[in-house]
A = this chain, B = another copy of it.
Amino acid sequence: MSRVRVHNFGVSLDGYATGDGQSLEAPFGHAGSRLLDWALGTRTFREMIHGQSGGSTGVDDALAASSFQGIGAEIMGRNKFGPQRGPWQDEEWRGWWGDNPPFHTPVFVLTHHPRPSIELEGGTTFYFVDAPPEEALRRAREAAGGLDVRIGGGPTTVREFLAGDLIDFMHVAVVPVVLGRGVRLWEGLEGLEERFEVESTVAPSGVTHLTFTRR
């Protein structure tokens, strides 16, 4: 059975997984890149996202790399796709990632405002679906052809899939910063740990990696 996975999900000490005030210039609001810096420094991210060489090759990198293995489809919330809210003002927007996004699979964007799908280079096609988590997952599984489905975020989307007990594996990176405001991941998930085996590892970057594996 294909698994449903969350990866590289940065969370602050106070439980925020993105900052306050998302905009075109600030995809993570006031958090900036602070929840993701550990990943941006890895060999995997430098190579896959930026086409650069170098970067760290320890546990940060191993976890970052695993995010890209065996994924056949992604589901993301609309706020991960872009900063717009409400009806689409501008159908020119094709995500933050340029002409060749790092997904290389079908990507299902959850939105109450469907629009035509967008096929980009490298195998990424964005589909816009107005559906509850279970139904979006059914469609993503179908598209994944036996491979796993990644829930890409943001926090509201991950939280909904966790609340629906739809996640098999989750990698959270706790970053030792206090964001103070933004969107919380853990809200309404009391007792979540009881459904998972939880492992913790500190990387030299100072980040604590937690893996949640469904019992």
Instruction: State the number of copies, please.
Output: 2
Which of A70-78, A102-110, A118-126, A182-190 touches B? Answer: A182-190
Residue A13 interfacial (CB < 8 Å)? yes
Known: A15-B13, A201-B202. A176 touches B191 (CB 8 A): no
Which residues 158-215 in A have Cβ within 8 Å of B in the complex?
A: 174, 176-181, 184, 186-193, 198-202, 206-208, 210
Task: Give the complex CA separation of A133 and B179 in angstroms.
Answer: 24
Residues of B within 8 A of A199 (CB): 206
Which residue of B189, B200, B210 is within 8 Å of A180 (Cβ)?
Answer: B189
Q: Which residue of B lies closest to A200 (CB)?
A: B202
Task: Give the complex CA separation of A210 and B202 in angstroms.
Answer: 10
Shortest A160–chain B CB gap in Å is 15
Which residue of B176, B184, B189, B198 is within 8 Å of A210 (Cβ)?
Answer: B176
Q: What is the interface of chain A mostly: helix, strand, loop, or mixed?
A: loop
Which residue of B11, B181, B202 is within 8 Å of A208 (Cβ)?
Answer: B202
Shortest A13–chain B CB gap in Å is 6
Residues of B within 8 A of A202 (CB): 200-202, 208
Residues of B within 8 A of A181 (CB): 190
Shortest A197–chain B CB gap in Å is 10
A14-B186, A178-B190 given; name 20 further pairs at CB < 8 Å. A11-B13, A13-B174, A13-B186, A14-B15, A14-B187, A176-B193, A176-B198, A176-B210, A177-B191, A178-B191, A180-B186, A180-B188, A180-B191, A181-B190, A198-B206, A200-B202, A200-B206, A200-B208, A202-B208, A208-B208
What are 11 A-B residue pairs whose CB atoms fall within 8 Å in the complex? A13-B15, A13-B174, A14-B187, A176-B193, A176-B200, A176-B210, A177-B193, A178-B186, A181-B190, A200-B208, A201-B202
Chain A to chain B: the 5 pairs with minimum beta-carbon distance, closest first:
A180-B190, A14-B186, A178-B192, A200-B202, A176-B198
A: residues with CB less than 8 A from B are 11, 13-15, 174, 176-181, 184, 186-193, 198-202, 206-208, 210
